[in-house]
Amino acid sequence: MVLQIIHTCLPDKKILALLRCSMKIAETVKDLSEKLSRAREGGCSIGFVPTMGALHSGHISLVERAKRENTLVLCSIFVNPAQFNDPADLEKYPRTPAADIEMLERAECDILFMPPVSEIYPQGEVQGEYDFGYLENIMEGRFRKGHFKGVGRVVARLFRICGPVTAYFGEKDFQQLAVIRMLVEKYHLPARIVGCPVIRENDGLAMSSRNVLLSAAERKDAVLVSRALFAAQEKAAGLTISEVKKLVHGILKSSPLIRPEYFEIVDGDTLLPLAQWEDAAFIRACIAVKIGHVRLIDNVPLNVPPA
């Protein structure tokens, strides 16, 4: 199956290179479990990078960190239907399996798990219903109903399949990271979670698999999202929270292509909105916008010294 996908996407020379690759590809839970058991018998610690594919340098930075901190790196590629509230969004989500395999091979990933839907959600299996309380209803949750339940479902399933791992997630999905930390703690899953910094393009745009869906004009204006966040970072100490919000919305308004969904200044631990700087020691500014049909999210820490 994987070789079939590669065949349709790559010229022969590249196929030969991939056939020589040392990264093992598992498509079934049974195959993956056997590979991981053998690795654990050999004393390996496992670093795990779950993804939905369409990989970019942000994902590779997670693989590299996992590589530095573990003896074996496992990556998964699974476009999880359960976390898409909009079927059109699932349909157009970028899929680049051949390029992903090449990137992972180059990053010296050891095992790639690339299951079909039937392996993750086998028929008849009772799916867990995970509850993240207010965390699943604020910010992203307001615009993507059921999204975090879907994320919880797949991540819990992956952690149970893999057994004990250290798992690496990007801070670009800041709320997702908080949800996954809660998932592990509340449902006693065998994973240690490591959050890793946002990786950006040269102009500041946060790397995302969705960036390739932007038209040239949209891509040009998308830079305003990070520019607005950096302005908030720079000016926060001299402004009130509502003045920072005005500043950010003013910058976003300079593009007719950008439709802001939310800009929130939150306690970085609880993700609850702040009324005043003094209410939290660790502060995060989080944003979501739509540009054309593409939804982008980003966030930065705000350092506001105590008054």
Which spans of this chain sit near ligand PAF (rule: CB under 6 A)? 50-52, 80, 83, 151, 154-155, 173, 176
Q: To the nearest 10°, the Cα dihedral for 213, 218, 224, 225?
A: -30
The nearer residue to ligand PAF, 52 or 225, going by C-beta atoms, is 52
Shortest Å, Cβ 50 to ligand PAF? 4
Active site (catalytic) residues: 59
Q: For residues 149 and 48, what is the distance between their CA atoms, to the nearest angstrom? A: 21
DSSP for 115-174? --HHHHS-TTPPPP----GGGGTSTHHHHSTTHHHHHHHHHHHHHHHH-SEEEEEETTSH
Q: Quick one: tokens of 92?
A: 């157009």
Shortest Å, Cβ 167 to ligand PAF? 9
Q: What φ, ψ does residue 265 adopt, rounded to 5°?
A: -110, 115
The nearer residue to ligand PAF, 60 or 154, going by C-beta atoms, is 154
Let me know the angle formed at the C-alpha of 261 by 90 and 232, rounded to the nearest 5 degrees: 125
Q: Quick one: tokens of 94?
A: 């970028």
Cβ neighbours of residue 251 closer than 8 Å, sequence gap 6 or more: 224, 227, 228, 231
Radius of gyration of the chain (CA): 20
Shortest Å, Cβ 147 to ligand PAF? 9
Shortest Å, Cβ 79 to ligand PAF? 8
Q: For residues 177 and 195, what is the distance between their CA atoms, to the nearest angstrom? A: 7
| β-strand pairing of 165-170 with 111-113 | unpaired
Q: Quick one: tokens of 269?
A: 């631990």
Shortest Å, Cβ 271 to ligand PAF? 17
The nearer residue to ligand PAF, 50 or 97, going by C-beta atoms, is 50
The nearer residue to ligand PAF, 7 or 192, going by C-beta atoms, is 192
Strands lying side by side in the sheet with 165-170? 24-26, 111-113, 72-77, 46-51, 165-170, 191-196
The nearer residue to ligand PAF, 78 or 277, going by C-beta atoms, is 78
Shortest Å, Cβ 251 to ligand PAF? 27
The nearer residue to ligand PAF, 173 or 298, going by C-beta atoms, is 173
Contact predicate 219/206, CB 8 Å: no
